[in-house]
Structure 1
Amino acid sequence: MKKRSKLLDGILIGALVGAAVSMFDKTTRERVIRGGKKVGTQVAEVVKNPKQTQQVMKEKFNELKSTVEHISEDVSFIAGKVEELREVTPQVMDIVKETKDVFTAKDSKEHSLH
């Protein structure tokens, strides 16, 4: 027989005591009751209409799959643009440096003439 962890037992007991103590608050109790009723209604709906639930789940899965595919395409596009920027940036920096050098040289000539 496997021996249970005292830590796990303590965590479970603490959670149960915490949940019981929180039920003393009227607002918390009402929320738990409303949530329980909502879950109960949803479970009853699933039991009554399993085919419809299955169809809804398939549709949601397909929507999620489509969204993941679009995000994947977007990430690939952005990664491609980042790579293009990495390749272009040194060229742009060289052009800016050359332009600066030309203007600096031109400015130096004009100041030496005056």
Structure 2
Amino acid sequence: MKRKGSIWKGVLIGAAVGAAFSLFGKIGESQARPSLPVRLKQWRRSVEEMAEDVEFMVEKIKDIVEKTPEVIEIVREVYSRKKEDRPE
């Protein structure tokens, strides 16, 4: 009798494990990694976006570099005013 119970226990455990593998297999299929060409397209798109971002930042840095001497001159003018000429 004890042997019969262990057989059924084994059958139930096996069925549970099979069901779990079946469910995980279906979940895994929907979340499968994209193919190599798709990943390469995604990588290329990311690289192009980063290049655009870097180009934008370089342009902004050029603007700052061009404006810096002008700003320095304005600051010098403000601090070179006589004390009575400064607004209160």
Q: TM-score, normalised by structure 2?
A: 0.55
Taking the aligned partners of 1:60 and 1:107, their CA distance within structure 2 comes to 68
Shift of 1:62: 0.4
Question: Does 1:106 pair with 2:83?
Answer: yes
> What residue is the counterpart of 2:69 in the other structure?
90
Please provide the CA RMSD for this pair: 2.3
Q: Could you state the TM-score of these two structures normalised by the residue count of structure 1?
A: 0.43
The amino acid that maps onto 1:56 is: S
Match runs of 1:35-114 below 5 Å: 56-102=35-81, 105-107=82-84
Unaligned 5+ runs, structure 2: 1-32
4+ residue stretches of structure 1 with deviation over 2 A? Answer: none
| Per-residue deviation, 1:65 | 0.2
Q: Quick one: higher RCO (CA 8 Å, sep 6+), 1 or 2?
A: 2
- Percent identical across equivalent pairs? 28
Gapped runs of 5+ residues in structure 1?
A: 1-52, 109-114
For this pair of structures, how many residues does the alignment match? 54
Structure label with greater radius of gyration: 2
1:64 & 1:80 partners in 2: Cα distance?
A: 24
Cα deviation digits, residues 22-69 of structure 1 (max 9, x gap): xxxxxxxxxxxxxxxxxxxxxxxxxxxxxxx8x611110000000000
